[in-house]
Amino acid sequence: MSSYQLEDNSQQDNKVSKLKSALGPLSGHSLVFCSDASLRRYLDARSWNVEDAKQMIEETLKWRSTYKPHEIPWVTSTSNDQLIYVHFLFILFSDYLQHEVAHEGETGKVSRASFHDRQGRTVLIMRPGLQNTTSAEGNIRHLVYLLENAIINLPKGQEQMSWLIDFTGWSMANNAPMKTTRDIIYILQNHYPERLGMSFLYNPPRLFQAGYKAVKYFLDPRTAQKVNFVYPKDKASDELMRSHFDMENLPKEFGGEATLEYDHEEFSRQMFEDDLKTAKFWGLEETQYLKPNGFSPADVVPEPATSLASVAS
């Protein structure tokens, strides 16, 4: 634990002010990203050292300017006319289609839960046994998309998320290559610091536990402390899960009472709505929905009878 974690709020506020000054004037996406809450997370990740936190944020801003995680779209086919319209706008007025991630999520290998944990954190459910592609880049983009989605759905005042990882059906055959795992860890630790509140690895096989020793080598010690191995019919595991989740919400796959059902079409509808919310948050509506010649989608494509507002409601 960093000694700075014990400082009072006024001392931390002073560090945030110094970091703002060190970063200098910001605009656009960088200004939105560098909220006080974000600066606190980066400072916390770097033991409240302003210079180290500044370097870390600058590297993240550079990564976000090229990788553009907040602009990754879900995009998939659907029978709903209104969603087809939104889909068409994405295709016609951006190059998003080549970067869409919906096909990666067809099996529900990673999805955002409909419930939060007891601390109000967004919950991501991961089921590595449902791996359906071999593309390292596709898997990484899919995960990054859902990280951004989890963040946009955090309640006010909450900065972290929880992960539930179900190992049913997992084997070495569908395990991610070590390089992919290392790349994911790098992105998580360097560009999403202090976003993970807790992770729960439910009933991992012994083979995975052996492999985890190698993975743990790449984890920051504070991150490693957030990794919990939990098992069925184990009192300590049961108490841990009950302390973090309402059993009525927690799926049976994790020792709870709820039924876990992944409906790709329904989840895609949610992601479409969230993509609109994400675009609004980052101020992308104008830039993404305007052609270079100044025409808007409404000028070129007749809007269907029901407005877009009703789609997002």
Confidence of residue 129 (pLDDT cuts 50, 70, 90): very high
Specify burial of residue 106 (Cβ count, 10 A radius: 0-12, 13-18, 19+): middle
For 80-128, what is each residue's pLDDT tens digit?
Answer: 554 555 555 545 444 444 458 999 999 999 999 999 999 999 999 999 9
Mean local confidence (pLDDT), 16-27: 97
Q: Which residue has the higher pLDDT, 10 or 111?
A: 111
List the structure tokens of 46: 């770097």
CA 149 to chain centroid, in Å, comes to: 5
Question: What is the rounded (10 degree) CA torsion for 246, 250, 255, 256?
Answer: 70
Q: What is the pLDDT of residues 254-286, one digit of tens each?
A: 999 999 899 999 999 999 899 999 999 998 864
Task: Give me the residue spans of the domains in the chain.
Answer: 3-67, 108-261
Does the structural domain 108-261 have CATH classification 2.40.50.100?
Answer: no
| CB contact at 8 A, 248 and 256 | yes
Q: Report the chain's mean pLDDT, rounded to a whole number.
A: 84
Res 84: pLDDT: 53
> What is residue 215's predicted lDDT score, i.e. its pLDDT?
84
> Does the structure show a pLDDT above 90 at 13?
yes
pLDDT of residue 297: 37
- Partners of 67 in beta bridges: none
- What CATH architecture is 3-67? Orthogonal Bundle (1.10)
| 222-261: pLDDT as tens digits | 999 999 999 999 999 999 999 999 999 999 999 999 998 9
